[in-house]
Amino acid sequence: MTAMLRISGVRTFYGHIEALKGVDVEVAEGEIVTIIGANGAGKSTLLMTICGSPQARDGSVVFEGQEITRQPTFEIMRKGIAQAPEGRRIFPRMSVIENLKMGAITSDPKYFDEDVEKVFAIFPRLKERQAQRGGTLSGGEQQMLAIARALMSRPRLLLLDEPSLGLAPLIVKQIFQVIREINEQQKVTVLLVEQNANHALKLADRGYVMVNGRITLSGGGAELLANPEVRAAYLEGGHH
Amino acid sequence: MEYFTQQLINGLTLGSIYGLIAIGYTMVYGIIGMINFAHGDVYMIGAFQAMIVFLICGALGLTWVPLQLALMLIMAVIFTAAYGWSVERLAYRPLRGSPRLAPLISAIGMSIVLSNYVQLAQGPRPKPIPPVIRGGFQIMESDAGFVVQLGYLQIVIILLTVALMAIFAYLIAKTPLGRAQRACEQDMKMASLLGVNVDRTISLTFVMGAALAAVAGMMVTLYWGVNEFAMGFVAGIKAFTAAVLGGIGSLPGAMLGGILIGLIEAMWSAYFSTEYKDVAAFGILVLVLIFRPTGLLGRPEVEKV
Ligand SMILES: Nc1ncnc2c1ncn2[C@@H]1O[C@H](COP(=O)(O)OP(=O)(O)OP(=O)(O)O)[C@@H](O)[C@H]1O
Ligand SMILES: [Mg+2]
């Protein structure tokens, strides 16, 4: 199977700081792949590098056979990639509906109503709050909106950066369930960055462990979950 | 009472013009957080464009006034928008991401370049044109014989301004372009992550601001009948004051601020001193900055982000 997304030898810098030191990651169509790692490992940097902000200094990012390493962010995001980024980044002075319209900016307007109904079916909470301003939503609602907004562009590859961060256990469970649904029912490939290794590895087909800007381990989700090193570093004494 | 009414009309007319210019300041500030000090000069360019088109019409023997006005409007808007676009391209975009001071200095430089360029091209002396729209209604007369005039031109200015502001408010609130502009204003990086071409959106913001400034320039050309290369400076600072008074970054604020500044200026010259009329506007700028820096309609920051 050829990879939908192939990241090879990617090095990314912030000024002189090398945040990614030669990263190789592959995601095949239809998969859920997760990247776990400690704070500051470079997980968010990897997702942002895929989107060209910042761009990789070395190496390449290939999406559906097309080199996107040097393309401007807005062009990359028009190719079928969407991201719900770290910190959610909801537009605070726009309503829920307007945030969703922003998500749909690259897709044909004729799909808008249908797509809104779809994301409202996934997140009924957003439907109730559609006129509310993004900035006044609760953290969980903002996370739902961030995912919903990403879905509005009809992506084939969805990048999710710590969707469970700061949410109550019940909501976390819901969010992970939604990710599975999106993957299975809407056939969206998912690359998921998580601190919540337990949940993430259970959900994912495959996973990568990132330490200090490098991939140190990779394997099937269940395999990594059973790995003693992974257990020691990311699971025991951590989240359950 | 009659005198007051007359000043009210004059103030509203003036305020319309300031309001149109102020929108350009406030939109650019909203989206890239920068005061575009060259905006006043872009307005001056608009005034000259309108004047040149008028003179060309005269030379070609086109004397039908509605045609003259339409040509002035269209040509001034197109050419001035091109200037606005170029200013951003040349002077600001290369500096994106540098410290705030850099584009500010570049803006001041651009302002000097534009006014000197017009000084060279058009000469340093004020250039007059004959009145195009004359006459008006006499709406009141006092016992002492003071006649309150509402000029046709004043009506045109006020109505055109109201129409433009309505169109503009709609554009910003309801269209994809307006939404993209607001998105860039709130989180530029996120906007690009959703596929918004941020550079293009910023360019269009400059183009829109310049187009409105061109309309203001054309109105002033018709209203005062004289243009000179330095006219952008004072008008620019007054419109900037209007934008700050209304709450910089706020579109309705710019409109309100413009009208207030126009009224204050008219009343001040009527009841205090014409020579010092500019002092009124600048005094207000100082007072607003000291006592209410967010302006009348500026938003208090309360959201959690
Ligand atoms: N804009 C930036 N400028 C400078 N350094 C940065 C910037 N963003 C991230 N870094 C640095 O790059 C490294 C990787 O950061 P990154 O945000 O990718 O980590 P992460 O794995 O997502 O961490 P977390 O789990 O805490 O979100 C860190 O050392 C961080 O300090
Ligand atoms: Mg992160």
- pLDDT digit of tens for each residue in chain A (240 aa)? 578 999 999 999 999 999 999 999 999 999 999 999 999 999 999 999 999 999 999 999 999 999 999 999 999 999 999 999 999 999 999 999 999 999 999 999 999 999 999 999 999 999 999 999 999 999 999 999 999 999 999 999 999 999 999 888 988 999 999 999 999 999 999 999 998 899 999 999 999 999 999 999 999 999 999 998 888 888 775 444
In degrees, rounded to 5, the angle at the alpha carbon of residue B113 between the alpha carbons of residues B112 and B118 is 100
Pocket test residue of A10, A13, A17, A39 for ligand 1, highest count of atoms within 8 A of CB: A17
B166 pLDDT above the threshold of 90: yes
Number of domains making up chain A: 1
pLDDT in the model for residue A237: 57
Q: B187: which chain A residues are within 8 Å (Cβ-Cβ)?
A: 89, 91
Mean pLDDT of the region B56-79: 93
CA-to-CA separations, B128 to A170, B27, B68, B90, B220, in angstroms, rounded: 74, 32, 17, 32, 12
Residues A15, A47, A8, A56, Cα dihedral to 10°: -30
Write out pLDDT tens, residues B119-146.
999 989 998 988 888 888 888 777 777 8
pLDDT in the model for residue B279: 85
**What atom in ligand 1 is closest to the CA of residue A38?**
25
B273 pLDDT above the threshold of 80: no
**What atom in ligand 1 is closest to the CA of residue A41?**
21
pLDDT in the model for residue B88: 95
Does the beta-carbon distance from B190 to A89 stay under 8 Å? yes
pLDDT in the model for residue B302: 43
pLDDT in the model for residue B3: 86
CA of A14 to the centre of ligand 1 (A): 9
Q: Which residues pair with B19 in a beta bridge?
A: none
- What is the C-alpha separation between B96 and B281, in angstroms, rounded? 31
Residue A74 lies in a domain: yes
Does the beta-carbon distance from A91 to B182 stay under 8 Å? yes
Residue A106 lies in a domain: no
Residue A192 lies in a domain: yes
Domain residue extents for chain B: 2-232
Searching chain B, which residue's CA lies closest to the CA of residue A84?
B193
Mean pLDDT of the region B186-204: 96
Dihedral sign of CA atoms B275, B278, B284, B286 in order: negative
Of B186, B192, B195, the CB nearest to A153: B195
Q: B198: which chain A residues are within 8 Å (Cβ-Cβ)?
A: 74
Instruction: Tell me the CATH number at A69.
Output: 3.40.50.300
Q: Does A91 touch chain B (CB under 8 A)?
A: yes
State the DSSP H helix or E strand holding residue A210, giving kind and residue range, or none if neither: strand A206-211
Structural domain range at position A42: 1-80+188-240
Q: Is A238 in the pocket of ligand 1 (CB under 6 A)?
A: no
In degrees, rounded to 5, the angle at the alpha carbon of residue A110 between the alpha carbons of residues A105 and A116 is 70
Write out pLDDT tens, residues B252-269.
999 999 999 999 999 988
Q: Which among A2, A22, A30 has a CA at the least distance from the CA of A216?
A: A22
Contact (CB, 8 A) for A44 and A86: yes
Of B176, B186, B299, the CB nearest to A105: B176
Q: Which residues of B touch A (CB under 8 A)?
A: 176, 179-180, 182-183, 186-187, 189-198, 299, 303-305
pLDDT in the model for residue B249: 86
Question: Whose CA is closest to atom 3 on ligand 1?
Answer: A14
What residues are neighbours of ligand 2 (ion), with CB under 5 Å?
A: A 44, 86
Contact (CB, 8 A) for A16 and A186: no
Assign B224 a pLDDT band (cuts: 50, 70, 90): very high
Of B179, B186, B303, the CB nearest to A101: B179
